[in-house]
Structure 1
Amino acid sequence: MKSILCALRQPGAIEDVVVAAPSHLPDPETHLLEPLHLIQKAPGYAPAVKPRFLDRALDRIVQWTGSIPMFVLLQVLVLVWSLSGIWVANTNLWPVLMGNFQAIFSYVLDSLLMRQQLNGYDENILVAAEVLSRTETHHRTLKLVVDSIGADKVGRIAADACTAQFEGEIRLPQQGRFDRAINRMALWLGHIWFVVFFWATMLLWLAFGPSNQWSDLWQLDINSATSALLIFIFSFLAILRERHAAYTHACVDAIYRVDAALEVKLRALTNDEIVNPETLMSAPRVSWLQRAINYYANVVGTLAGVALLIVVTIAWIAVGPVMHFSTNWWLLIGTYAGLVGLNDGFVMRNVQAQLRKYEAPHYAAIDKKDRELLAAVNIEPLTCEPINTTRISYRVSEWMNDVCGHEWTVLGGFIFLCGVVAGSSAMHWNETGQLLSNIPPMIIESFFMIILITGHNSADAERRIYLTDMFRRRLQLLDFANHVTKEDDADKIMLNSIPDDVLSEVIIRKA
């Protein structure tokens, strides 16, 4: 019984991460190589392989969902559906079918995007832990180097060291044209003015309500428009995250290679063979409400929600003959998926904001330790141009991100869902009643998906600055270590770092 309760409590729990970076010890053939060749030989970044087959299979589905062929296929389907409306747009079934497809598609994509989000957090925390672990070794070995050669020589070597001599050959990967186009589109879709445009179109639609007698067909018009928009945004967000994740992996791989080369250089100079220490990444403390949200997000991310949708779909098909496969019956499955999808939209934005908040202190700690390392050898750290936080559009976007990502906003969204369900129940779930539970949730879900892009853009820009700074500063330290290696007293440094008993044995053998 106790094990069952533990298993039920497990989803959503953010646990401590304890990890030590793999230690890279020098050998006579590698540590004297030039930085470029040493980096090429150094091991890069390899994401952890999940032990369970189901987890690996689900991750493959997530990657496939964010692929270029899948993105193109979905846009073609939306275009075909739009063109078919030329002949059948006057029937209620045409927009209802589109709404159902979009609701089910969004429901499934919610689960995949949630898993994609959680996977990204796990990888980012593990990377930060391994970098911090290796940084502790850099601190220890660099201190030995500085103590051995003295402050005067440190200053002279620091003045001679010039990262520019090999920075042109060793650089972070560049994105291709397609990725740059995706980035540009993400900036447009996530901009505050696009949010303004979105709500302006909603007001325009409402303005036509009186002239259309607030009819069901008038409501189905916006249902069709938001359905097409949601399919595009969901598919775009999936490919955006997947492309950015691939680029982040490439950047981390480059950082790992430079970091490993730096470790080998410093260990060779100091004859250090102590393994990299373990690093503890403490789990954040959360409120009961945030814990409940995390629990739900984790359940959705394991596709338990999709399994439930399959059960509901079977039940929906079973009641089809009873409802004579009417328009009301067609709306039923879309209503259910749409309501759950709206709740998922609130949760996804909250989880996105919280995971970013959990990651930030760890990368800030790396930044602080890197500055300490460079200060120890009198080198000014290279720093990317910071994000311009004074722009009004930026401040408004960040304010929207904070409000939409707050845990109480999720609770407010749930109360809103209960309200529309109560309203539809009062109408006995007729066609108008189901549209009440379809259209307002779809409009709000569309808004939250746009905010998800806004939040992703902000987090990605911040992460790229961290990664670029980490890479360039490790190049600076590697350049310093390379200059020390070339100094005449490199042997002296090595001897000074050898324990006295070992040093005595070496001197006796030489005699």
Structure 2
Amino acid sequence: MSLLYRTKEAFCAPGRQRIIEFAAPTQTVTKSSSYSDISERIAQDSNLFNPEKPKSKGGRIFDNVTQRAGSLITFMITLLILAVWAVVGIILGAPEIWQIIMQNGGSIQCYISDTLLMRQQQNHCYKLLTIISQLRSRNATVARLVHDPELHNNAPMVDKESIDQCSIEEAKLENAINLPNEFWFDKCCNWVSMAVGSIYALIFYWAGILVWVGLGPMMEFSDLWQLYINTAVAVELTFTSMFLQNIRRRHMEYLEKCLRSIMRTDCELEIILRRHSGDNKINPVITILPHPVTRSIRAIDYYGDIIGSGIGVTVSTCVFAVWLSIGDVMAWSDDWWLIIGTYTGLVGFIDGFVLRNVYFREDVILDEQFDVLAQADDALFQYLNVPLPTKPVEQRSSLITRISNYMGVLCAKSFAVLVSILIVLALMGVASSMGWNQTGQLLCNTPTMIIEGFLLIVLIQAHNLSNMKRRIQLRDILVRRITLLQYAKNVTGMTLNENDTVKFAINLKKADTEN
């Protein structure tokens, strides 16, 4: 392989659409396998799903940083910094330098958060797609085994009408396969998330903007007038961006626990059917192909991969190093402070549109794959002539939902990113004509920060809707799996004696504790 080819591949790699190819671990059993052996096997994660493909050391370090950025400790430190800054402002009488520090700090933090949010959502989407592919893989095996005539020959009569209610009651009663509970802090944050992403938050946000605009003539549209709104929006951006990282991490961890419960039920179903038939054919590899993309979308994905990778971190580090190096030359003045805020504000503005574009397109792909899984389950239930225990997810039609959906469609268009670039170029032209003085730099920051603050609220609402939808989808998958498991136990005559039941519960309880 030539150096030129490797260089070309490395240059073209960012943004390249990835093909997902995974198969669920095959549960090789014999007809003489005991139920105790089965319970020990499904208590181990290595038998439930195959891990993601290993990343480079740099990628693992970046993922670790991203994970820590969304931790509770990081979020609480952010709140503490905002509180200390507010107290200092009260003591000093809110001087201009105090506001500029918050504006620049908020711009820098939001700029960094865009990089971490991009990495976070890419990891989130990839992980869910790998798990869905393995659920489909095992589901294909279950469908093949269920269609085997020998399974139904000489099988005991099954009361199909009662399986639905029986399985749902089983889902409620068996702690080993229940969906996990959330602590009081998680519930509190969920409430705050719903409040921040509500229509009332949007009304309050734009009401504040209108009040600020109304004060413009009174303050002669001065630099101080611009500083006021920049400071207020910087606080909002700092809180919402860090809060979004935190709730995304917690919700992803919750979904992973739910998926682990689903896979245990799924694995038990596979083992029971294989034990009855003696079939040890490996689970098929499921391939999830990416959507075809236009050149504009390819360019967006290319840029998105750069800002969500080590390349983006390297570029940011170099920019900050240059900014710090010229501090002494500019006597650490207000203009020096504003330079980094202007840069991060303009670039972060474009990053924000790219982030939202990628997010909504990834959400569409996940919806499609969950639908494929649900359709496969539906076909299996129809073949068994068993009532489907779940209903399609109802679409909400509230005002904030419609606004969020509209903004999602709008932000998913490539022209939205193009418009953001044109806005940045126009603002740079205005600032250049003013010699990049304090007023010119504030003009660059003000509109971009206002729009980005609005879009962050909309993105939180979109995340809330997506998270609620995913929880319903996962609960429905679990209920369908338990229904099929109950049917398989009845057909195969698989029953647990008292010792097996105790050992089964102990093994799963141990697995839950370890996880």
TM-score of the superposition, structure 2-length normalised?
0.89
1:23 matched to 2:30: no
**Match for 2:145: what amino acid?**
T
Cα deviation 1:198-252 (Å, max 9, x = unaligned): 1111111110011011111111111111111111011100100000110011011
2:422 corresponds to: 415
Q: Which has the larger radius of gyration?
A: 1
Higher deviation after alignment, 327-336 or 86-95: 86-95
After alignment, is 242-251 or 316-325 more displaced?
Answer: 316-325
Once the 2 structures are TM-superposed, how far is the Cα of residue 44 of structure 1 from its aligned partner?
3.8
Does the 8 A contact of 1:335 with 1:438 survive in 2? yes
Name the TM-score, length of structure 1 as normaliser: 0.90
The question of 1:137 aligning with 2:144 is answered: no
Unaligned ranges ≥5, structure 2: 496-515
Q: Does 1:114 align with 2:118?
A: yes
Q: Which amino acid aligns with 1:156?
A: V
Paired with 1:317 and 1:159, the residues of 2 have a C-alpha distance of 72
In structure 2, what residue type is equivalent to 1:304?
A: I
Q: Answer yes or no: is 1:158 the counterpart of 2:160.
A: yes
Q: What SS does the aligned partner of 1:18 have?
A: strand
C-alpha deviation, 1:54, in angstroms: 1.2
Q: Is the 8 A contact 1:14 1:283 kept in 2?
A: yes
Deviations 1:305-340, CA, capped at 9 Å, x for gaps: 232222122222333333232211111111111111
Equivalent residue in structure 1 for 2:480, among 458, 473, 486: 473
Residue 444 (structure 1) shift:
1.1
Residue 100, structure 1, aligned to residue 100, structure 2: no
- CA apart distance, 1:299: 0.5
Instruction: Give the one of 239, 243, 263 matched to 1:232.
Output: 239
Alignment partners' CA distance in 1, 2:358 and 2:183: 30
Moved more, 42-51 or 77-86: 42-51
Can you list the C-alpha shifts for 1:328-357, whole angstroms capped at 9, x where unaligned?
111111111111111111111111001011
Whichever residue aligns with residue 196 of structure 1, its letter is: I
Tell me: CA distance 1:22–1:46, structure 2 relative to 1, closer, same or farther (3 Å). closer
CA contact (8 A) 1:40 1:257 kept: yes
CA distance in 2, matches of 1:2, 1:385: 49
**1:20-61 residue CA offsets vs partner (Å, 9 max, x unmatched):** 211012246755469988854784456436342111111111
Identify if the C-alpha distance between structure 1 residues 181 and 384 changes in structure 2 by more than 3 Å, giving closer, same or farther: farther
Q: 1:424 to 1:381 in 2, by over 3 A?
A: same
Counterpart of 1:509?
none
- Is 2:411 the counterpart of 1:404? yes
1:128 lines up with 2:132 in the alignment: yes
Structure 1 residue identity aligned to 2:29: P
Asked if structure 2 preserves the Cα contact closer than 8 Å seen for 1:31 and 1:264, the reply is: no
1:91 equivalent among 81, 88, 95: 95
Task: Say whether the 8 Å CA contact 2:21–2:287 is kept in structure 1.
Answer: yes
Structure 1 segment 39-438 matched on structure 2, within 5 A: 40=43, 43-45=47-49, 47-48=51-52, 50-145=54-149, 148-149=152-153, 156-159=158-161, 161=163, 162-164=166-168, 166-167=170-171, 168-169=173-174, 170-383=177-390, 386-438=393-445
The one-letter code of the counterpart of 2:481 is R
In the aligned structure 1, how far is the partner of 2:350 from the partner of 2:375? Answer: 39
CA drift of 1:184 comes to: 1.4
Q: Which residue in the other structure is 1:502 paired with?
A: none
Cα distance, 1:157 vs structure 2 = 4.3
Aligned residue in 2 for 1:508? none
Kindly tell me: are residues 431 and 29 of structure 1, through their superposed partners in 2, closer, same or farther at Cα, counting changes over 3 Å? Answer: farther
| Contact persistence 1:251–1:467 (CA under 8 A) | yes
2:442 alignment partner AA: L
Tell whether the 8 Å contact from 1:424 to 1:434 is kept in structure 2 after alignment: yes
Question: Retained in 1: the 8 A contact 2:266–2:481?
Answer: yes
Moved more, 441-450 or 422-431: 441-450
Equivalent residue number for residue 510 of structure 2 = none
SS at match of 1:253: helix
Distance of aligned partners of 1:191 and 1:90 in 2 relative to their CA distance in 1, 3 Å threshold = closer
Q: Report if the CA contact (8 A) 1:157-1:480 is conserved.
A: no
Is the contact made by 2:342 and 2:444 (CA closer than 8 Å) also made in structure 1?
A: yes
Shift of 1:380: 1.2
Secondary structure at the aligned position of 1:460 is classed as helix
Q: Distance in 2 between matches of 1:230 and 1:343?
A: 15
Q: Indicate conservation of the 8 Å contact 1:26/1:265, yes or no.
A: no
CA distances 1:244-276 after superposition (whole Å, capped 9, x unpaired)? 110011011111111110000111121111100
Structure 1 unmatched ranges of 5 or more: 489-511
Tell me how far apart the structure 1 counterparts of residues 124 and 494 of structure 2 sit (CA, whole Å).
43
Aligned letter for 1:64?
R
Report the CA distance shift for 1:308/1:159 in structure 2 as closer, same or farther (over 3 A).
Answer: same
Provide the alpha-carbon RMSD of the alignment. 2.2
- Aligned-residue sequence identity (percent) comes to 32
154 and 285 in structure 1: CA distance in 2 versus 1, 3 angstrom threshold: farther
Structure 1 99/134 Cα, relative in aligned 2: closer, same or farther at 3 Å? same
CA 1:41–1:449 in 2, change beyond 3 Å: closer, same or farther? closer
1:282–1:164 Cα change, 3 Å = closer
CA contact (8 A) 2:156 2:493 kept: no
Kindly tell me the number of residue pairs found equivalent between the two proteins. 486
CA distance in structure 1 between the aligned counterparts of 2:170 and 2:94, rounded to whole angstroms: 66
Q: Deviations over 1:274-304 (max 9, x none)?
A: 1001111112101111111111110111042
Match of 1:447 in 2: 454
User: What CA distance in whole angstroms lies between the structure 2 residues aligned with 1:121 and 1:355?
Assistant: 7
Aligned partner letter, 1:75:
L
Q: 1:189 to 1:480 in 2, by over 3 A?
A: same
